[in-house]
Structure 1
Amino acid sequence: MDAEGENVVPDPLHDSFTHLRQVYFETDPNYAARFSVPVLYDKINRVIVNNESSEILRMFGTEFDHLIAEKYRSISLYPPEHQKEID
Structure 2
Amino acid sequence: MSWTITRLAAKARLTERTLRRRLSAEGSRFQSIKDGMRRDMAIHYLTQPSMPISQVARQLGFSEPSAFTRAFKQWTGELPKIYRDAA
Q: Same fold (TM over 0.5)?
A: no
Tell me the TM-score normalized by structure 1.
0.30
Q: Which has the higher strand share?
A: 1
Max Rg structure: 1
Tell me the TM-score normalized by structure 2.
0.30
Q: Which has the higher helix share?
A: 2
